[in-house]
């Protein structure tokens, strides 16, 4: 026993009768092995009066059995639960979402239960996985826009439109029908199809006093996660969204106000920009953290410090969007180049008797960067000038990418920037149709 906790139980069977003992670990799973190290099957039970959990197993005479608590693996359940615990129900069919919530609640209960058995953990995982597989995206908005687009085509409303808008209708209807027929279509796929149909329809112009399309546009804003976008453009988006909501609530709003509110909202949605992808820059910053610059020449070390400071400034800039990706890529390239150009200091005593103030390398003023150019590396001057200067073209740090305690060590800078996630890429696809539709409407209205 350690810290008042039973570590294991050792039981000796003299007659070979069935054994039944109280489980000191509650209802936790256990491992039973005999004297030869063989695992023994057991069943769980409980005492009649007190209801304490028991372990029952068959024994052989004159055999020693060791009983230990089995470790319960909750890793898979924890990962799956964490992936979906903060998921929003917006955009999902209600009953499938409720099933997922029930499975998430059960998973949370099992994860919080210290004495949960492996069977309970596995059952909670299977239930949660089944609920996730059964989750279905709501297609109410998609069906509405699809039927309306088909109605316009059937009525001949698209025959006199410019070619680009006719093509937009064809593509939007085809994608909408595909999403409607796909039972496993994701929320993002349904959103993209509905949004494209909405843009095609709006290329025809609004009807007087009709707020249906504005209402649907506001519904789509619930699927936009502003955390994935740079701050620039968010204020305009939130303002346009607030104005659209006010127009929806105004029973006296005329068609011009409705059109203006819709246009402002879709323009603001188009103006949102994803944050720049800084994953490669972050990885590079981590890789150079801890370099001991005291091992390198001051000139090359200072060049690395300069490139590192510049790269860190780029990483910490939260305003960089996907339009500024080249700025991030340039910072990566410059830092990589500075790291590759690090030059190790010559080893002490490795030259050919150089003296302070004399010609470096002992070769009568020879440029130290030239080394022993022209000499045979096998039979040349082994102790000549430049023999201790490493080849800097290979980019090999020669084992110096280590974290040291030197004052010249590159300290890992604090990173406060954000990188675009996979969810951000999906959001970009959601808004891809905005620019095309808005451009068509402007062109149409300018004529």
Report the CATH number at residue 33.
Answer: 2.60.40.1180
pLDDT at 152: 94
Flag whether 101 is in a domain. yes
Give the model's pLDDT for residue 349: 58
State whether 108 and 149 are in the same domain: no
- State the pTM of this model: 0.34
- Decide which of 94, 111, 133 is a domain's last residue: 133
Closest by alpha carbon to 331, among 273, 283, 268, 260? 283
Same domain, residue pair 247 and 184: yes
Are residues 31 and 100 located together in one domain of the fold? no
- Residue 367 is classified by DSSP as -
Among 133, 153, 178, the domain-final residue is 133
Q: Which of 133, 149, 183 lies at the terminal end of a domain, its last residue? A: 133
- Evaluate whether 146 touches 197 at the Cβ level (below 8 Å): yes
Strand order in the sheet with 30-33: 8-13, 63-69, 30-33
- The burial of 252, by beta-carbon neighbours within 10 Å (0-12 exposed, 13-18 middle, 19 or more buried), is given as exposed
- Is residue 367 a part of any domain in this protein? no
117 and 147 co-located in one domain:
no
Look up the CATH number of the domain holding residue 87. Answer: 1.20.1270.90
Structural domain for 18, as ranges:
8-69
Q: Which residue has the tokens 């997922």?
A: 100
What integer best gives the mean pLDDT of the chain? 78
Q: What is the count of structural domains for the chain?
A: 3
Residue 383 domain-assigned (yes or no): no
Query: Does residue 299 lie in a domain region?
Result: no
pLDDT for 223-278, tens place per residue? 888 988 899 999 999 999 999 999 998 876 777 889 999 999 999 988 888 888 99
Q: Give a yes or no: residue 387 inside a domain.
A: no
Low-confidence ranges of the chain (pLDDT < 50): 206-208, 351-407, 411-427, 433-447
Are 86 and 40 contained in the same domain?
no
Do 253 and 127 lie in one domain? The reply is no
- Cα–Cα distance, 275 to 320 (Å, whole number): 6
Residue 388 lies in a domain: no
Question: Are 165 and 96 members of one domain?
Answer: no
What pLDDT digit, counting tens, does each position of 155-201 carry? 988 887 767 888 899 999 999 999 999 988 888 899 999 999 999 99
Are 32 and 63 in the same domain?
yes
Q: What angle do CA 242, 245, 248 make, to 5 degrees?
A: 155
Helical residues (DSSP H) of 297-375, grouped into ranges: 298-315, 325-340
Helix extents (H) in 114-254: 118-133, 140-154, 163-181, 187-202, 212-221, 234-249
From first CA to last CA, the distance across the chain in angstroms is 88
Same domain? For 124 and 175 the reply is no
pLDDT at 187: 86
Report d(CA 440, CA 112) in Å as an integer: 55
Domain presence at residue 79: yes
Statement to judge: residues 227 and 205 lie in one domain:
yes
Query: Is 149 in the same domain as 263?
Result: yes
257 shares its domain with 193: yes
Quick one: pLDDT at residue 409?
Answer: 53
DSSP helix/strand/coil, 151: helix
């Amino acid at each position: 026993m350690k810290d008042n906790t039973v570590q294991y139980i050792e039981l000796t069977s003299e007659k070979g009768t069935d054994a039944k003992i109280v489980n000191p670990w509650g209802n936790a799973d256990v491992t039973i092995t005999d004297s030869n190290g063989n695992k023994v099957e057991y069943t769980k039970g409980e005492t009649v009066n007190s209801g304490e959990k028991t372990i029952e197993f068959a024994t052989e005479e004159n055999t020693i059995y060791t009983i230990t608590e089995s470790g319960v693996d909750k890793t898979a359940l924890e990962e799956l639960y964490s992936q979906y615990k903060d998921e929003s129900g917006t955009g999902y069919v209600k009953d499938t979402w409720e099933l997922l919530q029930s499975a998430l609640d059960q998973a949370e209960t099992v994860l919080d239960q210290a004495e949960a058995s492996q069977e309970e953990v596995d059952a909670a995982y299977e239930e949660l996985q089944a609920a996730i597989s059964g989750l279905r995206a709501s297609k109410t908005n998609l069906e509405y826009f699809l039927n309306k687009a088909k109605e316009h085509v059937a009525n001949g409303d698209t025959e006199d439109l410019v070619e680009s808008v006719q093509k937009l209708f064809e593509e939007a209807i085809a994608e909408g029908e595909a999403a409607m027929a796909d039972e496993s279509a994701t929320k993002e796929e349904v959103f993209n199809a509905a949004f494209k149909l909405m843009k095609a329809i709006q290329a025809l112009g609004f009807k007087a006093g009709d707020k249906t399309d504005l209402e649907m546009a506001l519904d789509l804003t619930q699927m936009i996660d502003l955390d994935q976008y740079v701050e620039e453009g968010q204020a305009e988006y939130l303002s346009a969204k607030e104005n659209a909501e006010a127009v929806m609530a105004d029973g006296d709003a005329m068609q011009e106000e409705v059109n203006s509110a819709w246009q402002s909202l879709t323009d603001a949605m188009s103006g949102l920009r994803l944050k720049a992808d800084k994953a490669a820059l972050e990885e590079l910053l981590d890789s150079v953290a801890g370099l001991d610059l005291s091992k390198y020449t001051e000139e090359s070390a200072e060049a690395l410090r300069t490139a590192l400071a510049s790269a860190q400034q780029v990483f910490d800039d939260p305003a960089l969007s996907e339009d500024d990706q080249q700025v991030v890529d340039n910072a990566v390239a410059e830092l990589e180049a500075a790291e590759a150009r690090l030059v190790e200091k010559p080893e002490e005593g490795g030259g050919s008797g150089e003296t302070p103030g004399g010609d470096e390398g002992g070769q009568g003023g020879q440029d130290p960067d030239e080394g022993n150019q022209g000499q045979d590396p096998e039979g040349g001057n082994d102790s000549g000038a430049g023999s201790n200067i490493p080849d800097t073209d290979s980019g090999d740090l020669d084992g110096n990418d280590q974290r040291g305690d030197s004052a010249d060590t590159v300290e890992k800078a604090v990173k406060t920037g954000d990188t675009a996630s996979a969810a951000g890429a999906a959001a970009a696809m959601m808004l891809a149709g905005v620019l095309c539709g808005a451009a068509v409407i402007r062109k149409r209205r300018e004529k």
